[in-house]
Structure 1
């Protein structure tokens, strides 16, 4: 039996049986409403949301939604509006939509409803998979309703098995006789019971058909005869009703409906432009209130769409009366002026203006990709005529191929773009040349050809030499070029150049409102700073991670370089547990088969951590994996990778394999500090300390190429071991002290661990070193006995002493050492007592006088 019905706001009727069904369904986790177009899904859900009496987020997916990010941004916005959160969502690629929406839902009231209408418009497989995962794991108290045409693309079988999935299908939605009568009465139409039954039977209760009939019945001189004649195929009936409706509408409404039907979505301003009149928004609002096939798309009811069947029929009628192509051109101009390049391109394509559409997409493909619309770029490219009939799309194709991780294919398109540049209009050449340069850099970087990038790039075009239009269109390319140039310089170990380019790229990205690009630049800055300061490395990495987390990109590949670099820096300082955590996050963020430079860096960081923990077999496995990364050029860190491979083989007793690895090293790498150190390790294992010292002389003299502090510290320690083997204790102590001096500012421990230097430290008299506190930490990391260290202070007191020259507070020192504040306070009191000090500065001064701390330690 049908339930009682009543009028709702906006002229809908309350379908109480269906509303009751939705109420029952809401006791489960998810409800799917699947039915054909025009079945009344949207009207039902709106009525139910008004009836529900609980916070409700409602999203109607816009037509042809290809991009996952834009879908999640819209859904997050809808949820935030429902929860009263006014914070605008981020607008850049890499936005972690599912996590952001889940967090917002979890923070909502205990009872919350999420309604997603028109799921069939979502054409992104990625978004469908992510939405499926979200619906399977909704926070407690949240119920979701998803409406779609036909069968749902969501894979929710698990919820069905758990009896947490409710379904309302097309067969449940047809109007009953009573509901048809109520609908007619709401519209002020009176029919006999028989005519109501006939109308309901002929439409089979189809909501859209009933509303079409009601629009034609309004004011009809003989409604009974109209119902009797209401028959035919769907198309025949729809065309007849369309004609009847249009003839009965005022001329201005007819003009608006027809001329705006060229669009998938329309607002008042755009409708005014297409009709040449004013007041279109008022008409659209009135049409929606009358349920005349007009549906608002946003909370403020500023954007509208027509029922798809209605829109298609309007377009059919429009072709008989108007210049459709000109309407598309007018719409294209409006969308371009308002920054919607994708929709402007679609309108130009619909107008058949292929050359202009190609030029627009070519100019903005990079910017669209940086806005998270890479899938839209690909879809727009597919919409051009096939067979190469449209020229001028080479840059857009190159962007699409690079986004797919196919640099070789992208390079082929860039060659076409370079050839086309000679015939391009003079006013476009500057920005096209800048874009080609930026994409050249990205392609080379993705191929791992870092030296080639540096060699090919001359000067990037200066913004001061460009027109205002060129500046606007070239800024994306320029910032992207600076990013790729900075990354390539970093991985060629041109670290000062890298830092310069990356800082400039980050600043440019911030100026033009590209936070994703800014984070990408900052994620690599830590590696660029490894040349001189681990403190700056950590600051750069932590700043990038904080910014990425704020934008919801903490799990995205864009921030992986910061995770990897931070893990490496922590391994250098012996903070192996922390390094393990950051390395785990890096592995989660780096996709399989991703950028070769990042893959190589990840393997090297894994090897560094394993070597620091004495897991030489694991370290060797990671190093071998690094050598197998497919790259066109050679990463400048290859000398370190190959050198450490030799060292790991020596430590594993594989001397013959170590010699074979050395024999295969590229002759250009043989003179580097890393390879010389590896040879010295092998010579020491061969009981040839004099040969080891000879190999180390260029490294210690600073003449060996690529001589960062890590390699120099290791070289001093190896020289000390060789000196000790030769019976020269004084030279061994001097070399050890120099290694400690280099390690002290950044507390570098890794070289001491990798070279098993505990015996060297044990033989260093406590009164002759200024690095007793650092030696304590090294001894701890090597698990050796603290022989020869200062007796006055305990090992734990020496660890606290190391932090007294810094600006860290006692609670912060406690956190660094993973001990309680009371423990730190106790150690500080003991330090003061043993050093005869009454305050922190006096204790530091006294420790330096006793050579327990380096004078340069800050």
Structure 2
């Protein structure tokens, strides 16, 4: 692909990043502005209505009102192409860069917008003063990954930030939660409709038309305040002498609007203007240069100025080059008319637009216009020429959109695009769909060497992605016999996936050799996708060998690799994102881990990566427990179980049940935990986990779950020999992280057996190894019993003479103890107050709230069940914590059970 200059990129973004200019005939929507700007607690303003209700105008006025009060704003108009998360992330980053420019006062060229979605959110949180981001035409966004990013943006928005959304439909971005908390202002069609007073003001003061009040009342009633219909009527009445006759027959319906546009707007235009309107209707945005090119004229700038002055539904958008957009209603009407009157011209002009964009180096719109014109040969030729760039850039959603619009039989004539199609399906709809595509007869019989090379690399990748790692290993070994092939992309994919296969077999040295080979295939210009994959895989090996710091660094590099120009958010897919989040969780960086997972877990659901799907859901569930939200944790585990059934990944089902058993154990319900462990017993699954080093089950497997149950059931002596044998096996297999986890359980088993001194010594040995790596959750997740041992260990370490003290270990022990107080497990089995003081009695209402908390109810659910407000529930929860001297909900539940306050 020809490189796109910064100026070209800026020109392409300008259409989306600039708000429409205000028209002098706008009615000021004071009530709407007051509602949007006066709600100090709001995080979002939703302006939702069908086409023609003046959403964009209202948003523009809200923006002006905010700016006049010192609020910095940025504007982004969405379109269908923004369903590609890479593009949307880039546009969002550019909008945030505008906010930062306004605060810094620097020149535009000095600020490079980040393409990392999470980095963009971080930048927003660091903006010190009030700001608002306007997102118009949001109905175009339908991809769950993009909507998930918006939900995360709203969730992480600082208190002085505001998102104003204009849309025809209600987006699935967590608005219900905002509504419940009073953080959402909703402006719907009923609010946007003109009142009678506004209709009168519009005709008399803005349009300067002397229409009797009775007739205006009749017009207002027939149009029901629909802004577009009122506007169209005003234009028509300028040309009608007998106002009453027109008003009597103008209903304001869609049919009436279409008839009016035909008879009173289009047919009344001079032939030159009419022709220009129809022919340019196929353009998504209009610039003088593009219009000149497709119409083969040189006066498009003057024509666009004339249309703007005539108020012919043309919106001007400021930018490096003057750009325009037709009102959506008008554009739709014009395209229908154009197709009826000159059907042959529609495709021809779209092809002209495609050619012009290709000449400008704008490959994406060039392909878009070619597909719109049904010139699939041209689209496929362009795609073939630039396939390497799209592949290495990981533009899977963009590719998927194009392939979905092109007949499959035509793609078969372009071998390299068949490979791109398989990859696009894999990264957007999952491995099963990609395998179906790969099993097409023409591909099975392929003779093209390039196709054969790619298929050899893709087969093990797809097999591994549906949890058939043994088959992936065998197929990949055959493919390695011809490695390297000289095709950098295929060689990189094969080397990386076979490194995973060798690592899962425990052959770490062979895996690392292949990872080095993968790096060598990239030469001097590594692509983002390959770099992400290679570093993520080696990070997985580091993690299994207990090197958390090195693993975290590699995962961070893998995620950062996707921040290069032309790539973006989506290429840092679940491979790197989930692994990085899990490493952060292990270091007890819960907030940052949660933010990453909220973005990447939806992607694992879409493409069904087994280990990442399991790791993402289980980690999010544990973070939810750490925040005292047992109900949400249960939901996440149920979702994982459902996905396992839906994706035919039995290991996901077993892992969900295993984690549910752990949760029940931490809540002290031994009987229920034992039953859940039995339900998690899938012999074939856990047999595989003994043989394969599957990352999601490295330290979470059935035997370990049963050992934990024995310990918490007071059967530590029974567990000890099993644990010691398992530690020996783990060390011999270089599963050092697993060995460390088992060593923690050994300490707990010694404690349960009453050998407190040995338990403390054992824990000390584990923590001396864990401290340099900053490993935290491996210990914290074991709860109060682990904490009691660490308390003794920390006291002993503090009592050592200065010359014998290990400051690194002492600091680590103190951080661990602080982590218990913040986490969920500190309350599990927590003892009474250290000072032995009496607990103040709970009221009947507080006891009921405590019982509901123990049952996993959220604040909202409790308020509905008890028929009280959210604030009342929060007051009860706060009083309970004060009386029990606890620091989290789970602490309060556990302590109340120990004291016999609840069952």
Q: TM-score, normalised by structure 2?
A: 0.58
Partner of 1:77: 94
Aligned with residue 262 of structure 1, among 282, 306, 311: 282
Partner of 2:83: 66
Please state whether the residue corresponding to 1:262 is helix, strand or coil: coil
Structure 1 residue 123 corresponds to structure 2 residue 142: yes
Q: Quick one: distance in 2 between partners of 1:20 and 1:712?
A: 61
**What CA deviation, in whole Å up to 9, does each residue of 1:494-542 have, x standing for no partner?**
43343344355467779667546533321221344579x866x632432
Aligned with residue 486 of structure 1, among 499, 505, 521: 499
Aligned with residue 12 of structure 1, among 8, 11, 24: 24
Specify every segment of 5 or more residues in structure 1 that has no aligned partner in the other structure, as ranges: 1-7, 467-473, 571-576, 655-676, 685-695, 700-704, 715-742, 757-761, 764-772, 786-792, 802-809, 821-858
**What CA deviation, in whole Å up to 9, does each residue of 1:715-741 have, x standing for no partner?**
xxxxxxxxxxxxxxxxxxxxxxxxxxx
Aligned with residue 383 of structure 1, among 399, 405, 410: 405
Partner of 1:770: none
Work out whether residues 454 and 485 of structure 1, in 8 Å CA contact, stay in contact via their aligned partners in 2.
yes
Cα 1:160–1:598 shift into 2, 3 Å: closer
Q: Give the drift of 1:451.
A: 1.6
Partner of 1:767: none
Q: Quick one: distance in 1 between partners of 2:529 and 2:350?
A: 33
Partner of 1:276: 296
Aligned with residue 145 of structure 1, among 164, 175, 179: 164
Work out whether residues 199 and 216 of structure 2, in 8 Å CA contact, stay in contact via their aligned partners in 1.
no
Partner of 2:577: 559
- What pairs up with 1:731-742 in 2 under 5 angstroms? none
- What pairs up with 1:251-650 in 2 under 5 angstroms? 251=272, 256-278=276-298, 280=300, 284=304, 287=307, 291-295=311-315, 303-319=323-339, 320-321=341-342, 323-335=345-357, 343-357=365-379, 374-384=396-406, 391=412, 394-395=418-419, 397-403=421-427, 406-416=430-440, 419=443, 422=446, 430=450, 432-448=451-467, 449=469, 450-458=472-480, 475=489, 479-503=492-516, 505=518, 514-515=527-528, 517-528=530-541, 538-545=549-556, 548=559, 557-561=575-579, 594-597=608-611, 629=685, 636-637=692-693
Q: Quick one: distance in 2 between partners of 1:632 and 1:360?
A: 45
Please state whether the residue corresponding to 1:637 is helix, strand or coil: coil
Q: Quick one: distance in 2 between partners of 1:754 and 1:544?
A: 32
Work out whether residues 116 and 146 of structure 1, in 8 Å CA contact, stay in contact via their aligned partners in 2.
yes
Q: Quick one: distance in 1 between partners of 2:201 and 2:738?
A: 89
Q: Give the drift of 1:306.
A: 1.9
Q: Quick one: distance in 1 between partners of 2:125 and 2:192?
A: 32
Q: Give the drift of 1:23.
A: 2.0
Q: Give the drift of 1:70.
A: 3.9
Q: Quick one: distance in 2 between partners of 1:344 and 1:114?
A: 30
Q: Give the drift of 1:443.
A: 0.4
Aligned with residue 178 of structure 1, among 201, 214, 224: 201
Please state whether the residue corresponding to 2:98 is helix, strand or coil: helix
Work out whether residues 191 and 223 of structure 1, in 8 Å CA contact, stay in contact via their aligned partners in 2.
no
Work out whether residues 451 and 633 of structure 1, in 8 Å CA contact, stay in contact via their aligned partners in 2.
no
Aligned with residue 185 of structure 2, among 165, 170, 184: 165
Structure 1 residue 234 corresponds to structure 2 residue 253: no
Please state whether the residue corresponding to 1:84 is helix, strand or coil: helix
Q: Quick one: distance in 1 between partners of 2:677 and 2:124?
A: 43
Work out whether residues 147 and 173 of structure 2, in 8 Å CA contact, stay in contact via their aligned partners in 1.
yes
Work out whether residues 624 and 645 of structure 1, in 8 Å CA contact, stay in contact via their aligned partners in 2.
yes
Partner of 1:38: 52
Partner of 2:715: none
Q: Give the drift of 1:81.
A: 0.9
Partner of 1:24: 35
Cα 1:214–1:485 shift into 2, 3 Å: farther
RMSD over aligned CA atoms reads 6.1
Q: Give the drift of 1:236.
A: 1.6
Q: Quick one: distance in 1 between partners of 2:590 and 2:336?
A: 64
Point out the structure with max Rg over C-alpha. 1
Work out whether residues 63 and 264 of structure 1, in 8 Å CA contact, stay in contact via their aligned partners in 2.
no
Cα 1:378–1:678 shift into 2, 3 Å: same
Cα 1:366–1:306 shift into 2, 3 Å: farther
**What CA deviation, in whole Å up to 9, does each residue of 1:39-86 have, x standing for no partner?**
333233324423431322222222464345544543343233134276
Q: Quick one: distance in 2 between partners of 1:242 and 1:76?
A: 40
Q: Quick one: distance in 2 between partners of 1:494 and 1:749?
A: 24
Please state whether the residue corresponding to 1:539 is helix, strand or coil: helix
Greater alpha carbon shift after TM alignment, 624-633 vs 482-491: 624-633
Q: Give the drift of 1:173.
A: 3.2
**What CA deviation, in whole Å up to 9, does each residue of 1:120-174 have, x standing for no partner?**
2223355446546755775323344322336677764555566553424256433
Please state whether the residue corresponding to 1:32 is helix, strand or coil: strand
Q: Quick one: distance in 2 between partners of 1:331 and 1:395?
A: 28
Cα 1:206–1:710 shift into 2, 3 Å: closer
Cα 1:442–1:511 shift into 2, 3 Å: farther
Q: Quick one: distance in 2 between partners of 1:587 and 1:172?
A: 38
Q: Quick one: distance in 2 between partners of 1:36 and 1:643?
A: 50
Work out whether residues 278 and 335 of structure 2, in 8 Å CA contact, stay in contact via their aligned partners in 1.
yes
Q: Give the drift of 1:459.
A: 6.4
Please state whether the residue corresponding to 2:330 is helix, strand or coil: helix
Cα 1:645–1:794 shift into 2, 3 Å: same
Q: Give the drift of 1:179.
A: 1.2
Cα 1:516–1:283 shift into 2, 3 Å: farther
Please state whether the residue corresponding to 2:284 is helix, strand or coil: coil
Q: Give the drift of 1:238.
A: 0.8
Partner of 2:867: none
Work out whether residues 47 and 167 of structure 2, in 8 Å CA contact, stay in contact via their aligned partners in 1.
yes
Work out whether residues 485 and 501 of structure 1, in 8 Å CA contact, stay in contact via their aligned partners in 2.
yes
- What pairs up with 1:698-777 in 2 under 5 angstroms? 777=768
Cα 1:293–1:632 shift into 2, 3 Å: farther
Q: Quick one: distance in 1 between partners of 2:167 and 2:180?
A: 21
Work out whether residues 407 and 446 of structure 1, in 8 Å CA contact, stay in contact via their aligned partners in 2.
yes
Partner of 1:842: none
Q: TM-score, normalised by structure 1?
A: 0.61
Specify every segment of 5 or more residues in structure 2 that has no aligned partner in the other structure, as ranges: 1-19, 103-107, 251-255, 564-568, 619-650, 712-720, 751-756, 759-763, 772-778, 780-785, 791-797, 817-903
**What CA deviation, in whole Å up to 9, does each residue of 1:202-229 have, x standing for no partner?**
87765445655677788xxx65369966
Work out whether residues 216 and 241 of structure 1, in 8 Å CA contact, stay in contact via their aligned partners in 2.
yes
Q: Quick one: distance in 1 between partners of 2:484 and 2:210?
A: 75
Q: Quick one: distance in 1 between partners of 2:593 and 2:171?
A: 39
Please state whether the residue corresponding to 2:538 is helix, strand or coil: helix
Q: Give the drift of 1:446.
A: 0.8
**What CA deviation, in whole Å up to 9, does each residue of 1:769-796 have, x standing for no partner?**
xxxx9899489999999xxxxxxx9967
Cα 1:245–1:306 shift into 2, 3 Å: farther
Please state whether the residue corresponding to 1:57 is helix, strand or coil: strand
Work out whether residues 125 and 156 of structure 2, in 8 Å CA contact, stay in contact via their aligned partners in 1.
no
Name the structure, 1 or 2, with higher relative contact order (CA <8 Å, separation 6+). 2
